Amino acid sequence: MKKTIAILMLAVGTVFSANAQDKMMKDAPVRTLSLEQTSGEFTQKQITVSEGTYVFDITNNGVGHDVGFVLVKKGKDVSKPENHIQTAYVTQAVKTGTSQTSKPTKLEKGEYVYFCPLNPTSTDNTLIVK
């Protein structure tokens, strides 16, 4: 009997979770920000966007090894992982000649810095959200 109740509770929880995610995705359209990395740098040094939810699409253009993506609110210590916006991480390392995306990331007004510690790129690339 306990096993049946546990399975029923799990099923109900899953349905509520899925419905909440569907509602969130319908309420806010997800846009894509495409960024390209070459050896030691991003080709886009500054980007300005409006508030909203974004997926980061990161392309590795001839770097010769895997790259990644880190986004941090400007003014925070970029060397501390707890300051990284983890939903903006690509879901897999980006191999040469390929692209990978992040999870949807809600961006609020302000300035952010982005970089790749694997490439490595400078930490003065700026994302401005108006």
**Residue 23 falls within a domain, yes or no?**
no
The structural domain count of the chain equals 1
**Residue 39 falls within a domain, yes or no?**
yes
pLDDT in tens, 20-66: 555 555 677 999 999 999 999 999 999 999 999 999 999 999 999 99
CATH number of the domain enclosing 97: 2.60.40.420
**Residue 21 falls within a domain, yes or no?**
no
pLDDT at 6: 43
What tokens appear for 55 in the block? 């997926």
pLDDT at 87: 98
pTM of the model: 0.78
What gap in Å lies between CA 81 and CA 113, rounded to an integer? 14
pLDDT at 20: 52
**Residue 13 falls within a domain, yes or no?**
no
DSSP assignment string, 26-67: HHS-EEEEEEEEETTEES--EEEE-SEEEEEEEEE-S-SS-B
pLDDT in tens, 65-105: 999 999 999 999 999 999 999 999 999 999 999 999 999 99
Domain that holds residue 91: 31-129
**Residue 15 falls within a domain, yes or no?**
no
Task: Using only the alpha carbons of the chain, give its radius of gyration.
Answer: 18
